Amino acid sequence: DGGITQSPKYLFRKEGQNVTLSCEQNLNHDAMYWYRQDPGQGLRLIYYSQIVNDFQKGDIAEGYSVSREKKESFPLTVTSAQKNPTAFYLCASSQNRAHEQYFGPGTRLTVT
Amino acid sequence: GIQVEQSPPDLILQEGANSTLRCNFSDSVNNLQWFHQNPWGQLINLFYIPSGTKQNGRLSATTVATERYSLLYISSSQTTDSGVYFCAVASSGSARQLTFGSGTQLTVLP
């Protein structure tokens, strides 16, 4: 099946540890995105990538890092510098010339 | 950046009722999407509708780009329609960056 997968579904970490969230797509989409959602709010853009080996900061990039070594994969690292990392993280992708974005199922990260 | 406002923030309906959700935005757009977020957090694409009108079963949407608003209509609502409905837009100057509204929480009672 074509789609976007995120793993793990739930993730628990201790404060001060870096953690990497996985996002993979087999839709042959060029663009990929990471969003953060806090309870009762909409989504906010963390990073996006339009092509391999290129990415740009979104509205809330501080404390996060990404890589785009393969077209299919766009992992997100939540570093210890992120002050409030506990949130729901969603990955999305879209075709290069079309703008409709499709979302993965998300990862719920809890840092204590 | 572009501002997105959704109304109402909360809506409670009896099964079978109709509803209209509104999305206002502050700038010209070349991307507007409606999503339904289910109780497990999955965002489901409902419509890609930067302008015009579309229908899909009991759902339809209209975007009037010149007046900077979009409407999502839900007819004969069912309990499975419950969840949060988000409008997201990308302004004409930043086609790939979706800005989300804060959502409408819909509860359909049996």
Confidence of residue A24 (pLDDT cuts 50, 70, 90): very high
Low-confidence ranges of chain B (pLDDT < 50): none
**Which pLDDT score, from 0 to 100, does residue A40 have?**
87
**Which pLDDT score, from 0 to 100, does residue B1 have?**
85
pLDDT in tens, B41-72: 999 999 999 999 999 999 999 999 999 999 99
| Total count of residues recorded for chain A | 112
**Which pLDDT score, from 0 to 100, does residue A99 have?**
74
Q: Which two tokens stand for residue A77?
A: 């690292």
Residue of A nearest to B90 (CA): A99
Cα(B90)–Cα(B29) distance, integer angstroms: 6
Q: How large is the average pLDDT for residues A46-69? A: 94
Are the Cβ atoms of B45 and A45 closer than 8 angstroms? Answer: no
Neighbours of A20 (CB within 10 A): 13
Q: How large is the average pLDDT for residues A27-33? A: 93
Is A95 in CB contact (< 8 Å) with chain B? no
Are the Cβ atoms of A105 and B35 closer than 8 angstroms? Answer: no
Residue of B nearest to A57 (CA): B97
Q: Which two tokens stand for residue A28?
A: 């042959």
Are the Cβ atoms of B90 and A99 closer than 8 angstroms? Answer: yes
